[in-house]
Structure 1
């Protein structure tokens, strides 16, 4: 009788242990893949990602509009929808705390200079021998930046 209970207990443990080890890492993998899905190009930091993701989840819970969830996360938390969610959740006093977090995930400052102000863009201008055009590009960049 005792050996039968032991055998049943052992069988249950053997059956349940693989389930728990499969289920836990899967959640992390899903979050990591969504990190890339929303166009984040910086460093994956689970704690930061969960914090910003939670803002979008709370915003969705507030409005119950499925598109808000995807628009809030889009472009690695740099859209106006994310800012709107911060406003709606009355977190505007914390916005300066979020900017460096977004920078870690995004790999660049949110909404500053865009791709045309980066060292990479300027290096491409030089590599393509467009140095004489550089001033014109900078004027265009300034003009485009004012349209935000």
Structure 2
């Protein structure tokens, strides 16, 4: 018996290991994600209280707005001034989030002001 029959499975194993390693390395850790959100919070001009879940929800609205319009400026306009802008409200309306509007505005106010 030769070892030739093992070469193909070993190649597949190495390839799978490389793919898995790449996936693990590209996923931010929980700590890094929190720091990223904290940095985003300040970069957006938010002056209020930091609440990661609020920031994540508002960012998601802007991401969905970008996906809806496929306009590179949509995401940035939506996030401008810590989400406290007319574009954010229009995005929420376009995404049919009228039932959530009061909650979204409350989150914006919490992040925006002290």
TM-score, with normalisation over the residues of structure 1?
0.55
Flag structure 1 segments of 5+ consecutive residues without an equivalent: 1-15, 109-148
| Rg comparison, structure with higher value | 1
Counterpart CA distance in 2 for 1:81 and 1:42 is: 20
Q: 1:40 aligns with which of 37, 42, 46?
A: 46
**Distance of 2:112 and 2:45 partners within structure 1:** 8
Query: Aligned-pair distance for 1:64?
Result: 1.2
Structure-to-structure mapping, 1:1-148, within 5 angstroms: 23-24=28-29, 25-107=31-113
Q: CA deviation at 1:68?
A: 0.6
How far apart, in 2, do the equivalents of 1:85 and 1:70 lie?
Answer: 12
Q: Distance in 2 between matches of 1:44 and 1:79?
A: 19
Ranked by relative contact order (alpha carbons within 8 Å, sequence separation 6 or more), the top structure is: 2
Deviation sequence 1:67-114 (CA, Å, 0-9, x none): 110110110111111011011101122211112211110116xxxxxx
User: 5+ residue gaps in structure 2?
Assistant: 1-20
Q: Following the alignment from structure 2 to structure 1, what is the Cα–Cα distance between the partners of residues 101 and 84? A: 12
What is the TM-score when the length of structure 2 is the normalising length?
A: 0.71
Runs of 4 or more, structure 1, over 4 Å off, are none
**Offset of residue 23 of structure 1:** 3.4
Task: Output the aligned Cα RMSD.
Answer: 1.9
Instruction: Tell me by how many angstroms 1:33 deviates.
Output: 0.9
